[in-house]
Amino acid sequence: MLEHLGPQATETWLKGLVANMARDPKGGDTDQIKAVAAGECGVALSNSYYVARLMRSSKPEDRAAMEKVGVVFPNQSSWGTHVNIAGAAVARNAKNRDAAVQFLEYLASDSAQRYFADGNNEYPVVAGLRANNALQALGNFKSETVPIAKVGANTAQVQQMLDRVGFK
């Protein structure tokens, strides 16, 4: 938000977010989804793999909760929706540099990405690779593209804004 809106508009947006909370946050992503299904609130933020877990759950109450909620990917007509970032690196002084690079290359391979995506109901990082998991039912979405270096550089400023607006 900071990259797209600038500091003043982002802080105003965060104030509105806090003012619109139906209750103080409690629990994890699954609890937020279930709160929407129960009518405690109208909207919640959740990682997509929690949605998929409830969709595929063997518990009837989990599947019933998912029948009461919809999934919306934010900002599809503008900059796209946030995507969590995971990264890896090899230390400059690594003793087994070649093996570490091979391992990272394996993690980015089609087969490893399919394994992780299908096993944990996540989207693969390999462009064009289709996973065979519950997320396929949610369809495609436009993802946010702010470079990780900018996200990292903004972390302290955004945390200060969150503290000022009373985000819990």
- Architecture per CATH, 2-165: 3-Layer(aba) Sandwich (3.40)
Q: Which residue has the tokens 């933020």?
A: 45
Contact 142, 73 (CB under 8 A): yes
| Helices and strands in the chain, H and E counts | 8, 0
How confident is the model over 150-168, as pLDDT tens digits? 999 999 999 999 999 999 8
Q: Where are the domains of the chain?
A: 2-165
How confident is the model over 45-80, as pLDDT tens digits? 999 999 999 999 999 999 999 999 999 999 999 999
Residue 87 has pLDDT above 90, yes or no: no
Residue 27 has pLDDT above 90, yes or no: yes
Cα(26)–Cα(111) distance, integer angstroms: 37
